[in-house]
Amino acid sequence: MASTQAQSERKRRSGSTRRTSRPLIGITTSDHKSFLAWWCDWISVWRAGGRPLRISPARPLRRPVDGLIIGGGDDIGAQRYGGEMQLDVRIDPARDELELELLARYLPERIPILGICRGAQIINIHCGGSLIEDIQTTYRHIRNRRMVLPRKRIEIEPFSQLADILNRRYCHVNSLHHQAVDRPGDGLKVVAHDRDDLVQAIESDRHPFLIGVQWHPEFLLFSRSQQRLIRALVDAARLGAATPRQSPGDDGRSLDRSDDHLQ
């Protein structure tokens, strides 16, 4: 019976994708995200050929998605990675829980996943990695300036999936974060860093498309290279929507968490 239901679901998803040619891309946000920020998410995915679906604690996921973007936002609760509680930052525990459970659900299915800023950090935490809790406090010599325009130069590792997608070794990105990936989690590797040697991107060597970037490509609508990153996710989702999903079994920590509330 379960096998029949799974086959029916695959046929439904495949047929829907062929009809619309727009895979369904879930995008996690907070409940208080501004309209302008969400519009940037929406237009980036739509321009890339996907159908954006907003996911937040107040808008939990009700149907399967073909790809997932873990978006930027508030700090992640320090208890999630063994950090020290800070009273001067805004956190969103309900969103932390939602995104960790989405990763637990979809990593074993091997759908394409892109983490943006906070999203890269929560992917790293889910895989057992750690964070720099506050760049300015930890590295006082670093001038961590916030900038929405692409003025920070980063270096990308050659032969990485990210370098292949962006088709370059160096690029300029924006910077809106005060935390960063410290130790990469299981199965993740650092594939980009800035001039201060802070991690700017991670990717998986076990998953066909699991990338986390510390910047916000969705805000760089005028940048062809940055929009290629969104398009690569959508293209991978379109391809995967017509392919039977892999059953959970070999994705390590991603199988340790429960996703009961998503059923």
Phi then psi dihedrals of residue 214, to 5 deg: -85, -15
Active site residues: 117, 216, 218
Q: Please, is 261 exposed, middle or buried when counting C-beta atoms within 10 Å of its C-beta (0-12, 13-18, 19+)?
A: exposed
Residue type, 220: L
Report yes or no: 199 and 30 within 8 Å, Cβ to Cβ. Answer: no
Following CA atoms 112, 55, 255, 107 in sequence, which dihedral angle do they give, to the nearest 10 degrees? 0
Angle, helices 224-241 vs 2-20, to 10°: value is 140
Alpha-carbon span 131 to 101, nearest angstrom: 19
67 residue type, one letter:
G
Sign of CA dihedral 84, 124, 250, 230: positive
